[in-house]
Amino acid sequence: GNSVTQMEGPVTLSEEAFLTINCTYTATGYPSLFWYVQYPGEGLQLLLKATKADDKGSNKGFEATYRKETTSFHLEKGSVQVSDSAVYFCALSGVVYNFNKFYFGSGTKLNVKP
Amino acid sequence: GAGVSQSPSNKVTEKGKDVELRCDPISGHTALYWYRQRLGQGLEFLIYFQGNSAPDKSGLPSDRFSAERTGESVSTLTIQRTQQEDSAVYLCASSFRLDRTEESEQYFGPGTRLTVT
């Protein structure tokens, strides 16, 4: 079946540090991959996505590359800011009985200290 | 345009009472999802509607939980005989079909915070 596994948090970094949040997936077929972000007190919002192998999604300085060979979609940012403190969710959409269904990881909390 | 809306935004209820939560998806979105998010936890899938097909109820935690959706419009999630462990934020999301095999990203509502006392 389909599933998403992401690294457990919390992750605590100093401002301007490099960020990697690991995400691996199991899926049948050709899923699309997503990163969602949930800022404190707010709802989930899409951060970036990639719809096929080798695609790179990017937004707000964050990047993730769809690696089919390693079934991974790791989130990276070269220099984090305090305002990036949030919970990050990796997700995939996969075809199940001809319908697309979304699967979310458990979330990784990022704390960025000034 | 209007996003996904949910009501109420907050609900406090006594243990044993029934509650009904409402979700208005974005117009034209065929798929609708309900999730539960306990404090500090990830998203727990509850139920998924796709168009007029039979819903995927595989995530409902007990028979006290049920959900309905008429066509591609409003959905209601009902929790009967609420328990304290039902306290959580209930999130609704919708998406639309891009083509035969691909769905758009999910658009989330702000959630309903349910507190069972």
* Rounded average pLDDT over A62-66: 98
CA-CA distances (angstroms) from residue B62 to A24, B22, B43, B78, B87? 30, 19, 17, 12, 14
Looking at residue B96, its pLDDT comes to: 87
- The answer to whether B59 faces chain A, any CB pair under 8 Å, is no
CB contact under 8 A, B95 and A46: no
Give the residue among B75, B44, B76, B46 at the shortest CA–CA distance from B58.
B46
Task: Quickly state the pLDDT bin for A61 (edges 50, 70, 90).
Answer: very high
CB contact under 8 A, B103 and A93: yes
Give the single-character DSSP code of A34.
Answer: E
- Residues in A closer than 8 angstroms to B36, CB to CB, are none
* Rounded average pLDDT over A42-68: 94
Task: Quickly state the pLDDT bin for B41 (edges 50, 70, 90).
Answer: confident
- The answer to whether B99 faces chain A, any CB pair under 8 Å, is no
Dist CA A97 CA A92 (whole Å)? 16
CA-CA distances (angstroms) from residue A30 to A33, A50, B1, B8, B52? 10, 11, 31, 37, 25
Residue A14 identity (one-letter amino acid): S
Looking at residue A97, its pLDDT comes to: 58
Q: What value does the mean pLDDT of chain B take?
A: 91
- A66 or B96, higher pLDDT: A66
Task: Quickly state the pLDDT bin for A31 (edges 50, 70, 90).
Answer: confident
Of B31, B43, B109, the CB nearest to A89: B43
Looking at residue B91, its pLDDT comes to: 96
Looking at residue B68, its pLDDT comes to: 95
CB contact under 8 A, B109 and A43: yes
Task: Quickly state the pLDDT bin for A102 (edges 50, 70, 90).
Answer: confident
* Rounded average pLDDT over B2-17: 95
CA-CA distances (angstroms) from residue A6 to A20, A57, A78, A107? 11, 17, 19, 7
Mutation target vs B (from A66, A101, A103, A109; most B CBs, 10 A cutoff): A101
Give the single-character DSSP code of A39.
Answer: -
Given a cut of 60, whether residue B20 has pLDDT beyond it is yes
Given a cut of 60, whether residue A73 has pLDDT beyond it is yes
- Residues in B closer than 8 angstroms to A30, CB to CB, are 101
